[in-house]
Every structure is written in structure tokens, then in C-alpha cells.
Structure 1
Amino acid sequence: MVQTIRIEAAARERAGKGAARATRRGGMVPAVIYGAKQEATLLSLDPRDVMKELHKGGWQSHLYEVAVAGAAPVRCLMRDVQFHPVSDQPIHVDFQRLAAGQHIRVKVPVVLLGEEVSPGIKAGGVANLVRRDLEVMADPDNVPERFEVDVSAAEIGDTFRWSNVKDHQGASATIARDFVVLTIAPPVVVVEEVVAAPAAPAPDAKGKGGKGAPAKKK
């Protein structure tokens, strides 16, 4: 089961762009929790907490408990983060509240096993991840941390699909077919073009290239 991460937050009373700007001027990041047929909850977050989660990677598949003083923690997903166009600092965060029994749409990273012993890769083949993350529907209490694909016996030209993932862990793919996850591509051959040197000028009748014959004396 994926770990639930707790984030401390403060309540915001007012919505709108002006209120959000005031929150940012106070050194905080405005945020909102929506969904589960409940009224939206306005929050402000410490930007250090937001950046800590973003640096972990895979934040869209993590479960969060957002805790506001005086209220029960809210179980949710971090759905979207907006960034400042110049500083790249987070300026707004959207959370989705989870309802009891609700399956959630998440992106789960793909991890390869056995690359060091794969005959195809040892022969120069390249593991080409067509999908680095797989979008699935999963139980919030059993969100996979990763999906594993075993390439230890893979040869050049082999293709791995959703059905080749070692364990779906109860999740179902959002794509209704056995889609390609990975291929073992042949090595790239670089062909160097050889440019011939320019030909030397042809010599004249006396073997002196480029000069005319001397005039005959009368």
C-alpha cells in the first residue's frame, strides 16, 4: 500500500485572484481542495512543503492527508500545480478530495528489471520506454508505487505490453487494449560520410600544371 503523506495547511477565508495574490505576498501558496460532491476548501500552504513533494517525483500518484487546525484531515490527491512563468515557483495547488469507495485515476511510473543481463541490451539494443508512466484506475488504499517489467530474457525486437507488467496490483488500465509499454530497439548505426579531396589540376604538355607552354622563337 502506498504511503499517505501529511501536509499541514492554514485555512483561507476568501476566494478570487486578489485574495490569492495577498496569500502569495504573505509568503504562502494558495490551494484548494475540491470534489466528492462537497464545497471547495480554500487553503494556504508553506511553499517549502510543496517543493519537497514536487522534488520527490511521482506526486500525482501519492496520497495526501491535508490537515487544517480545528478540522479533520482530508484525504486527497495533488492534481495540479501552477508555476510562476519566470521564477518557476509554485503559485497555486489543486487537490482532489477522495470519496469512500471511489477508485482514482493515477499515473504510476514504470521500472525495468534485469537490464544488466538482457541478451538484447548486452548486444547493443536499447530499452525504449514508450510509456514511462501508466495511467490506471486504482483503489486509494492500494495505489501501486511502481509497475515492473522484467527484460532479463529480452532480445532485440521484443515488445512488452500491459499484459507483460509483472503485477497489476489490482489496478486497471484506462486504455481498453493491450497497449505497448516498452520495446527493445536495435542499436543505432552511425555512418560517416567520406568526402573526397578535390582533384589536382591536370598538367600541361611539358608537365607544368597550370602554365602555358613558352612561345617558340622565330
Structure 2
Amino acid sequence: MAGEIPDLHAQERTGTGKGAARAARREGMVPGIVFGGDTDPLPINIPFNELLKKLKAGRFKSTLFNLKVDGHDDVRVICRDVQRDVVKDLPTHLDLMRLRRTTKINLFITVDFVGEDDCPGIRKGGVLTVVRNEIELMVTAGDIPESVTVSLEGLNVGDNVTISQIELPEGAKPTIDRDFVICNISAPSALKSDENAEDEDGEATEAAEAPAEEEAAAEE
């Protein structure tokens, strides 16, 4: 399970309706609602600056949070909607859904790369090119992996690692239905330059030989 689920701090909002929501915004808060599970909906306020910072960090709607509200037990939530001002594009309201341990959700999981010392391609001067440092997986809320491990052991220059080659945590599966590339071992830049130079020399030689062959044909 993920070792560090980020906290999301909120306050219970007293009062509901547009009047209470406007009052919250005047105080630098963003009103919201927590729903789902076997508990009644809980109106909350979240500090505007904290919410804006998390939104700018990206993937807010696909991140699992540990919601902390004074007077209530911590609960895992995921955002289902963020309403924004149509002119300023700033958050004005958000909906959070409580999750049971058996709930299936889509989350981006970090990829850890190991085994570089046992990678022939890297020992020969190859370079690890990471195509995806995170993978979006469908996982169970009660069994979220901290990361997915990709072994580079035995890989040579030109080899790719695709999602089908990775052992995923039990119960997890990719959200993309194709065998996409996670990383590859590419040739060192010096070798690429040499290959390009050889190709250019070959093309130049072929271009020089072509007129000579045409002239010989014409003389015959």
C-alpha cells in the first residue's frame, strides 16, 4: 500500500446554501461537499491557497487524499468535480467522494527502475530513456501500491520494456488497453553521430557514383 497518501485539510462548514458558500469564499475558503459511503454528506471548507496549490500540481482528480476534518475520523477521498469561476478560472466549489477499501479507482502510480548495474546496454554506454515515470492503473482503494518496479537487468541497447513485461500488483490493471512502452535503452549520442555520419557518407558516395554510371551507359 502507498506509504504516503497526501493529507487534505478541511473544516466542517456550518450552514448550507448559497449564503454560507459566499461567506466561505469571502473568508478565503472554498466550499465543498463530501459524499458517499454509509455516512451523511458533510459540508466542508478548504483553504483557497492550499487547494489552488494542489490543483496547480496536477492530477488532482486522480489523486487519493486522506481528508482530515476536526471532529471527524480521517477518511480517504477522491475528487469527483471542481467547479471554477467562468471568468477567472479559479476554484469555487468541489465534490469529494468517500472510498471504501473495496472501491476501484484510477490512480497514477510511480515507476521505480532497478538493476542498472546488471544492464549490459548501460554498461556499453547506452542511455536509459524513460517514456513513462508514472503509470495510470485501476487499483483497489484498500490496496494501493506505493510504486511499480521495472528491472533493467539483461537489457541491451535498442531493447524496450512494455507494460506487458511488468509484474503489476495483485488486482491492478492498466487503464490503457494496449502494450505501451515504459522505457528503452537507447544508443549513446556519440554512436548515433557516427552512424549518421556513415549514412551521410554512404549517400554521398552513391550520389557520386550515379553520374559516373550514367556517363558510362551513355558512351556505350
**Alignment TM class, shorter chain as reference:** 0.5 to 0.7
Q: 1:72 to 1:107 in 2, by over 3 A?
A: same
What does residue 129 of structure 2 align with?
Answer: 128
Correspondence list, 1:64-83, <5 A: 64-69=66-71, 71-78=72-79
Rounded Cα–Cα distance in structure 2 between residues aligned with 1:88 and 1:73: 30
**TM-fit CA distance, 1:92:** 5.5
SS at match of 1:141: coil
| Deviation, structure 1 residue 160 | 0.9
| Secondary structure of the corresponding residue to residue 95 of structure 1 | strand
Answer yes or no: is the 8 Å Cα contact 1:61–1:143 preserved in 2: no
Which SS does the other structure have where 1:142 is aligned? coil
1:2, 1:62 within 8 Å by CA — same for their partners in 2?
no
1:131 is paired with a residue of what secondary structure? Answer: coil
Distance in 2, matches of 1:148 and 1:82, equals 36
- Offset from partner CA, 1:61-104 (integer Å, 9 cap, x none): 444134243x45433124677899xx999766553321452212
**Counterpart amino acid of 2:165?**
N
Percent identity of paired positions between Structure 1 and Structure 2: 32
Match of 1:9 in 2: 10
RMSD over aligned Cα atoms: 4.1
Equivalent pair of 2:101/2:141 in contact (CA under 8 Å): no
TM-score (norm 2): 0.63
Contact 2:137-2:175 within 8 A present in 1 as well:
yes
Q: Note closer, same or farther for the CA distance 1:186–1:77 as it changes in structure 2 (3 Å cut).
A: same
Contiguous gaps of at least 5 residues in structure 1? 193-218
Structure 2 matches for 1:80-95, cutoff 5 A? 94-95=95-96
5 Å-filtered alignment, 1:105-124, equals 105-124=106-125
Aligned to 1:27: 28
List runs of 5+ in structure 2 lacking aligned partners: 198-220
Partners of 2:65 and 2:75 in 1: CA distance: 10
Amino acid at match of 2:67: E
Aligned partners of 1:152 and 1:123: how far apart in 2?
13
Letter in 2 for 1:67: V
Number of residue pairs matched by the alignment:
191
Relative distance call for 1:185 and 1:73 in structure 2 (3 A) is same
- SS of 1:75's equivalent in the other structure is strand
Normalising by structure 1, report the TM-score.
Answer: 0.63
Opposite residue 10 of structure 2, the aligned amino acid is: A
2-structure distance, mates of 1:32, 1:123: 56
Which protein is richer in helix relative to its size?
2
Greater mean deviation of Cα atoms: 90-99 or 123-132: 90-99
| Larger Cα-atom Rg | 1
Q: More deviation in 160-169 or 143-152?
A: 160-169
